[in-house]
Amino acid sequence: MEPSTHFERPVRIRFSHCDPAGIVFFPQYLVMTNALVEDWFNEALDINYAAMISKRRVGLPIVKLDCTFSKPSQMGDTLVLSLALERIGARSVGIVIDAQSHGEMRFLARQVLVTTSLESGVSIEIPDDIRAALTRFNPAALADVKDELKNEVKETRS
């Protein structure tokens, strides 16, 4: 069986997700996407996310975020959140998460996550076991890491 290049999870919209207008308060979508990333690591990548943070002290902060909100979601709706891995770099990964209800797009988020030492707060190379799990999930997402490292050196010198 071929590995899937998407990770999906249904999410029921609850009262706690909504603002006084009765629709999802937009920052709640980011809470949902973060939960999806945690589930993706635990279930699809087989990397214990809690241990990665608390024991290994490796974080994955969002350093770039672009969101498109297509249609409001209301309490009682069920969204299907879908995560696709677009790019694996030396220190970062690019993911796309969309949410749909009955085939209708509600929002789309493009994110760049950077592996970071939680001790120093500095970006680090993606640990080998995490890189291997990401590559198994979507081999086509591997970037030309040499070019990325050259760009990081140029940015550091600027």
Compute CA distances 5 → 37, 85, 133, whole Å.
14, 7, 12
Q: Which of 87, 84, 82, 97 is nearest to 140 (CA)?
A: 87
Q: pLDDT tens digits for 34-91? A: 999 999 999 999 999 999 999 999 999 999 999 999 999 999 999 999 999 999 999 9
Q: pLDDT tens digits for 111-143? A: 999 999 999 999 999 999 999 999 999 999 987
Domains of the chain (ranges, CATH numbers):
6-157 (3.10.129.10)
